[in-house]
Amino acid sequence: MSGAARTSTRDIARAAIRAELAQVAFELFRRQGFDKVTFDGLAKAAGVSRSTFLRYFGTKEDAVLCARSLEKQNGWRPAIAQALTERTDPSRPATLGPLVRAAAAVDCLNIAVNHWTASDGSVDLDDLLDEAFAALATR
């Protein structure tokens, strides 16, 4: 396995963990109110240590803004899946395939943007998106 493949797998796992932690944070903020939630409470609700939670989110604000973004992106998936279905064969009944491809496309976007942000914009975002989708297409 090449170093690039390991990095990609690690990035995917990290993005999945971050998304899960953000979802837990969002639900806790919604139920208890932002000001009443502590990092200890967030970590406990997520089933991780405080230091693990802090590794993914340096502030509570980071967690809630990320959660809102993920919530919005979850809303994109059905629309993307519908567009994919219409482009391929609108007469076919809905299957999981287009929804899975839509979710993968959103994750490709997130991973590319995360790399672009980490590079302080020095790497071309279009190139990162192309690379992410190419990695998805590779068998």
- Measuring CA to CA, which residue among 17, 16, 96, 22 is closest to residue 62? 22
* C-alpha 12: how far from chain center: 8
In the numeric block, which tokens belong to residue 128? 């990162």
pLDDT for 27 equals 86
CA angle (111, 11, 19) in 5-degree steps: 70
pLDDT for 48 equals 94
- Name, in order, each residue with C-beta under 8 angstroms of 8's C-beta and a sequence gap of 6 or more: 111, 135
pLDDT for 139 equals 62
How many residues does the structure list for the chain? 139
Domain count of the fold of the chain: 1
pTM for the model stands at 0.55
Question: What b/e sequence results for 109-123 when a residue is b if at least 16 CB atoms lie within 10 Å of its CB, and e otherwise?
Answer: bbbbeebbeeeeeee
In the numeric block, which tokens belong to residue 24? 């837990």
pLDDT for 109 equals 87
pLDDT per residue rounded down to tens, the chain (139 residues): 444 444 567 777 787 788 889 889 888 988 998 889 999 999 999 999 999 999 999 888 888 787 677 778 888 888 888 888 888 877 777 678 888 888 888 888 888 888 887 787 788 888 988 999 898 887 6
Segments forming the whole domain that contains residue 15: 3-137
Q: Which helix (H) or strand (E) holds 14?
A: helix 3-32
Helix, strand or coil, per DSSP, at residue 137: helix
